[in-house]
Amino acid sequence: MAYDKRYVAQKRQRRRRKTAKAKLKLYEQGKLPHDKLPSLSKRFLSRKMRALKRAE
């Protein structure tokens, strides 16, 4: 039972991450404004920018 519960939770989280990354891609293409991004996408974006800044 615990495994099933965890599996369903992982599935839900994976779906959330997938849609957040898709929205991020739309934002980068200029098709979506920053204020329309979900909070998870904004978190991904800040992490990405921090990594790019560190790489310089």
| Average pLDDT by stretches of 10, the chain with 56 residues | 94 97 97 96 96 92
Query: What is the predicted pLDDT for the residue at 56?
Result: 81
Contact 40, 23 (CB under 8 A): no
Query: What is the predicted pLDDT for the residue at 31?
Result: 97
The residue whose two tokens read 């990405």 is 48
Q: How many CB atoms lie within 10 A of CB 45?
A: 17
The number of folded domains in the chain is: 1
Domain range for 31: 2-55
Q: How many CB atoms lie within 10 A of CB 23?
A: 20
Query: What is the predicted pLDDT for the residue at 1?
Result: 85
- Is the entire prediction scored with pTM above 0.75? yes
Amino acid, single-letter form, for residue 4: D
